[in-house]
Amino acid sequence: MTDLHITNDAPAYDRSALKPRILHLGFGAFGRAHPMWFLDRGLDAVGGDWGVIAARLHSGAEALSALDAAEGRYHVTAADGESALVRRIACVIGSLHPRRDGPDALPDLIASETLEVVLLTVTEKGYCQAGGRLDTGRDDIAADLSGAAAPTTAVGLLAEGLRRRCAAGAGPITLVSCDNMPGNGDILRQVVLDYAAALDPALPAWIEANASFPNSMVDRITPALDAEGRALIEQAAGGADPNGIVTEPFLQWVLEDHFAGARPPFAEGGAELVADVTPYEEMKLRMLNGAHSFLAHAGRLAGHETVAEATDDDVLRAAAQKLMLEEQAATLDMPDGVDVPGYAAALIARFGNTRLRHRLDQIAQDTSQKMPQRLFVPAGLNAAAGRDWPLTALAIASWIAALRDLPPVADPRQEALRAAAAGADPVRAVLSLDGLAEAPEVLIPAVQPAFDAITNRGILAALKEAL
């Protein structure tokens, strides 16, 4: 038991009115805690029939069946060190999984006239892209395009569903990426169009005329659930909930108001609708995600396991603040009224939330996919402007040192990265890997001495010298 002040919140809308109007692909912890929260609150505010079908493509069939057994209801516990708000989510009305329900279930749903919105949380890897275009050299994409079996990738599934929707004469549809990528809607649009062109030369024109792909910026720290989290859910919800999730109180969704058809009540539930999400996206990627990646590697080198532990370290906390305010913020061009120092202060407070137990090795996963937009791009912008970027250099160097010195974490390029980091010249070898850094020669002169400082004096001493 904990001494948290607990507030319970339950939906008041008419659940019997809900229809399958939204498909959520990749329905995991973040999907439960973020877009469903906004939708559920929006339905409370204005009502409607926007029901959700939750779907996974590969793993997770058992979890979806458990959700069905609870009639789609589950609890989201938004907790910090003092209080918890428990919201019972009720907008999910069913689930689909190709291994459980057959390969036609998902594309047929996409083709149905009732469905109007597809949400995606499939991680960066799920877009099967290289340089913003479909990576046709991938084995899974090649297998999907061969037509030998039903598509297994999210891109292939969407294109096939849109092909069937076109043939059925169904109405417009909006596809919203909720993954943490810059220009996520633009990337989704391009890979779907690329795949569609290979599937049917006439299909891209129909997609261009009938589908929209708004960019969005999402934010809510939602770590993998552990035993402490499950105990908190049981206490807060008044009983065990195998479908529940623990998250932080803060949440943000900035979404371009570019829907092909009707718009679900996301804004009524708290989402911000804007004409251009880019400035908000860059602020989040560089300040929050950049600081997260810094703490993931520097914190593990310092012996910490969670974000809260790393943030409680005076040196790491001061370094994260300086990284955000003096280096990352300098690369931003925000609309009037955005309080960047206040945003940085809020991030530090969020990082220190001891209830989340957000593991650093979880954040460190797939860093090769995240490092360019989080740290390489702002480093290049600062270098081009003649500004120093010592903390960014130490953040990049700590990643290379972690590749060399710490146990491996999941990354699609893990073998090549660790081999490069184990060589005689780790900085140059890692940063020069194909497709990683656009301009390694810009990065190396600053990253090399930072790496040497970490190697010779340790991460905390190296950071103290930069503060």
Task: Say whether pLDDT at 18 is over 70.
Answer: yes
Do 236 and 77 touch, CB atoms closer than 8 A? yes
Tens digits of residue pLDDT in 122-134: 998 999 999 899 9
- What per-residue confidence (pLDDT) applies to 343? 95
CA distance 315 to 402: 18
- What per-residue confidence (pLDDT) applies to 355? 80
Distances (CA, A) of 274 to 129, 145, 214: 26, 36, 10
CA distance 57 to 282: 30
- What per-residue confidence (pLDDT) applies to 180? 84
Tens digits of residue pLDDT in 257-315: 999 999 999 999 999 999 999 999 999 999 999 999 999 999 999 999 999 999 999 99
Mean of per-residue pLDDT scores for the chain: 95
Segment 339-362 shows an average pLDDT of 92
What angle (nearest 5°) sits at the alpha carbon of residue 198, between those of residues 193 and 176?
A: 25
- What per-residue confidence (pLDDT) applies to 381? 97
Do 290 and 375 touch, CB atoms closer than 8 A? yes
Task: Say whether pLDDT at 199 is over 70.
Answer: yes
- What per-residue confidence (pLDDT) applies to 6? 87
Task: Say whether pLDDT at 19 is over 90.
Answer: yes
Q: Which has more pLDDT, 159 or 224? A: 159
What percent of the chain has pLDDT above 90? 89
Half-sphere exposure of 13 (CA within 13 A, CB side): 23
Split at pLDDT 50, 70, 90, the class of 2 is low
Do 219 and 288 touch, CB atoms closer than 8 A? yes
Tens digits of residue pLDDT in 30-48: 999 999 999 999 999 999 9
The three-state DSSP-derived secondary structure of the chain is: CCCCEEEEECCCCCHHHCEEEEEEECCCHHHHHCHHHHHHHHHHHHCCCEEEEEECCCCCHHHHHHHHHCCCCEEEEEECCCEEEEEEECCEEEEECHHHHCCCHHHHHHHCCCCCEEEECCCHHHHCEECCEECCCCHHHHHHHHCCCCCCCHHHHHHHHHHHHHHHCCCCEEEEECCCCCCHHHHHHHHHHHHHHHHCCCHHHHHHHHEECCCEEEECCCCCCCHHHHHHHHHHHCCCCCCCEEECCCCEEEEECCCCCCCCCCHHHCCEEECCCHHHHHHHHHHHHHHHHHHHHHHHHCCCCEHHHHHHCHHHHHHHHHHHHHHHHHHCCCCCCCCHHHHHHHHHHHHCCCCCCCEHHHHCCCHHHHHHHHHHHHHHHHHHCCCCCHHHHHHHHHHHHHHHHCCCCCCCCHHHHHHHHCCCCHHHHHHCCCCCCCCHHHHHHHHHHHHHHHHHHCHHHHHHHHC
CA distance 151 to 157: 6
Task: Say whether pLDDT at 157 is over 70.
Answer: yes
* Residue found by looking up tokens 């990426």 in the block: 177
- The β-bridge partners of 22 are 52, 117
Task: Say whether pLDDT at 1 is over 80.
Answer: no
- What per-residue confidence (pLDDT) applies to 224? 80
